[in-house]
Structure 1
């Protein structure tokens, strides 16, 4: 405890770090306040929250802004959608590939295109958002309300995007990820209180057991996020003037979960399609009605089996497009590095690809288990709100953002020669002797 208090004092003793933390808190406070400002023309007393299916997922990410019909009702999600689209385009379209290789100027162009695409997506999603609001809550003309809401919601998304960029520039951590995490975490106190009240006094031991299970689930997700497979790399001896420098021994860190949370997001988006398509023929076809009811219930075994298989497929797909063994092999060859016992060039690429394929399988299986664990927890008696924190997209995002933020704080402390957040002075998985696998 004494070491923790000393570390907090060291953090606030660094002027730049203290200002960045206070800036982050201020920007987050603005974001949370905006989540409770209702759209113009709505009677808040008549609002009926729709938190089923996709709407419930959005509301979790937005910290209740969706169900509150607030000016930040779309939050940062249109920007996330635009970023995913641009990321896929830089892989599939040569024009965007060339732009990505242009360095800082290319990055600025991609960012500008992402912002424009965000506005287009936000306007389209605003129409769907307005359609989810029950007509009894609308206190003005419907056409006027739709037009004004589109403008306000799009402006709210742009403002959230600006807040995220400001957190990245003047705060601590990645701004966009921080806003998503804050939206998720804001639901945790209410969820844990509701879970405690639902257990009554006789269920106090059960509630305590749930907290212990939650702790170990979080720790396992941290391990999954930080786990890497190190491939040793040897650099040839170099001659500088009259001196001979021995070759350096480094390593390539291949992450066990290189795809991150993207496979769950993709799979979860597609899992809404069967029930949506089946609803068209639900009244006339018994099979369609069965499919619709089965895939709208995320606790059904059919839903979880398909969901898990899709995560396995998307994990391999996203790993394949995000980690390029050929590029890694070419970078090693140009820098004079080689993997001991493996020929440079194509053989090195095949060797890296084989290792990546093997380590992706256990990572994909565990990612699928983490994704379906909330439904398992709900079937075992955990409330719907609290079960969302036992795994899935929410938990992986929270763990990733917290680890990234801690690493940034750690770097500030080490630069000022203070003891780090951890006893070793380094977060697990970090090292100075690393070949970046890009």
Structure 2
């Protein structure tokens, strides 16, 4: 405990780090304040009563509400949060894999290309926000959330403008946190929205299990175990050892080789991150969305009901399989063995026992395929874990934190933020955040660390 307080003191003593942390907390507080400001013309009480009568809504809307920290169901000016920007970023990233123009911007045009991609992402964010804003206002109206005292045309016009402004402002806050704060701003805003709901869910679960504290203690142990498993899948790497060519010291007959430099390629066990879960979730909600445009019989069919219930066996079997498939697909897109091989050739390095060129590329590809299998299975299990624990009697509000997108995002963002804080501590000759071991990406003699992180 004394070491913990000593670390906090060291963090506070670094002037630049202290200012960055305070700046980050200030902008997060502003973002959270915006989630409580209600849209003009919206009736929050009527909307809440309607949602309570329906039992909460479908999985997609519940997920959006989770990511926005409750702003979605509160008809807030920040109701769409940062999600349109995330959607635009994913679209631009996928275009970078398929469209040559975006490929050039990503890999060949350096800083100018990244600025151009940033401008495209922002413009696409505005377009997506306008569409989603109109859909959200329709959602409010259909659930009785529009006040009878406001003109409908004014409600629509002002609502779309305000929602778009709220999303753009959230995007601006995220970029400012990234530039002048600590951590990735956009990811931090999403994480804060998720964490906001955790104390309430924890409280509900404690009340439900008040007559069986042993069972509640077992749930807390299970939550800790799942969190540690998620940390392992997020940070786990397979190190492929490397050797670099010997350098000669001196000239002529007196020349002597130095000792061979050793290094490694860090291949991530889960190179795809949370993207497979996001893609799978988007496809799982598609049948429900299509049924909403059909007849009443289609909306009440057995298949649609199964897809609208995240605890149903059919939903989870298909969901698990899709996460595994998308993990392989996305890993194939982001991990390019040919780029590793080219890097090794330029650095005059090689993998011991493996010939250069095509053989090295095949070796790296085979290793990637092997480690992706357990990584994809564990990721799939984490994705369906909320349904499993909900079926075992855990409150659904708390069960959603037992895995899925929320837990992986929280773990990834927290580790990334701690890594940045630790970098400041180490640069100032202070002890890091952990006494033994290293946070992912911390220190180490590895030229390939940056290459592994980029891919």
If the TM-score is normalised by the length of the shorter chain, which range does it land in?
over 0.9
Tell me if 1:381 matches 2:393: yes
Q: Is the 8 A contact 1:23 1:167 kept in 2?
A: yes
Measure the CA separation in 1 of the matches of 2:365 and 2:111.
Answer: 29
Among 148, 155, 174, the alignment partner of 1:145 is 155
Query: RMSD of aligned C-alpha atoms?
Result: 1.7
1:191 matched to 2:201: yes
Matched, 1:113 2:120: yes
Kindly report which structure 2 residues correspond to 1:20-39, keeping only aligned pairs within 5 A, or say none: 20-39=20-39
CA distance in 1 between counterparts of 2:67 and 2:2 reads: 35
Q: Kindly tell me the number of residue pairs found equivalent between the two proteins.
A: 436
- State how far apart, in whole Å, the 1-side matches of 2:137 and 2:249 are: 68
Q: C-alpha separation between the residues in 2 aligned to 1:145 and 1:42?
A: 8
Task: Give distance in 2, aligned partners of 1:99 and 1:296.
Answer: 39
| Among 324, 330, 334, the residue aligned to 2:336 | 324
Distance 2:27 2:116 in 1: 26
Q: Is the 8 A contact 2:233 2:375 kept in 1?
A: yes
3-state secondary structure, aligned to 2:212: helix
- 1:149-160 aligned at under 5 Å gives the runs 149-160=159-170
Superposed counterparts of 1:170-319, under 5 Å: 170-200=180-210, 202-239=211-248, 242=251, 244-278=257-291, 283-284=296-297, 289-319=301-331
Distance 1:124 1:241 in 2: 68
Does the 8 A contact of 1:233 with 1:252 survive in 2? yes
Q: 1:273 to 1:197 in 2, by over 3 A?
A: same
1:54 to 53, 56, 60: 60
Pairing 1:334–2:346 present = yes
Distance in 2, matches of 1:283 and 1:126, equals: 26
Does the CA-based 8 Å contact 2:267-2:368 persist in structure 1?
A: yes
Partner of 1:76: 82
User: How many Å separate the matches in 1 of 2:409 and 2:71?
Assistant: 18
SS of corresponding position for 2:241: strand
TM-score, structure 2 normalization = 0.93
SS in 2 for 1:421: coil
Is 1:64 matched up with 2:74?
no
CA contact (8 A) 1:281 1:289 kept: no
SS across alignment from 2:81? coil
Deviation at 1:429, TM superposition (A): 6.0
Cα 1:15–1:284 change in 2 (3 A) is closer
Following the alignment from structure 1 to structure 2, what is the Cα–Cα distance between the partners of residues 142 and 267?
A: 36
How far apart are the structure 1 equivalents of 2:346 and 2:145?
66
Aligned counterparts of 1:149 and 1:423: Cα–Cα separation in 2: 51
C-alpha distance in 2 between matches for 1:428 and 1:83? 24
* Distance in 2 separating the partners of 1:389 and 1:19: 31
1:91-130 alignment to 2 at 5 Å? Answer: 91-100=97-106, 101-130=108-137
- CA, structure 1 residues 248+35, in 2 after alignment: closer, same or farther (shift >3 Å)? same
- How much has 1:357 moved relative to structure 2? 0.3
Q: How far apart, in 2, do the equivalents of 1:238 and 1:136 lie?
A: 73
Shift of the 21–284 alpha-carbon distance from structure 1 to 2, 3 Å rule, reads closer
Distance in 1 (alpha carbons) for counterparts of 2:400 and 2:82: 20
The alpha carbon displacement at 1:422 in A equals: 0.4
TM-score of the aligned structures, taking structure 1 as reference length: 0.96
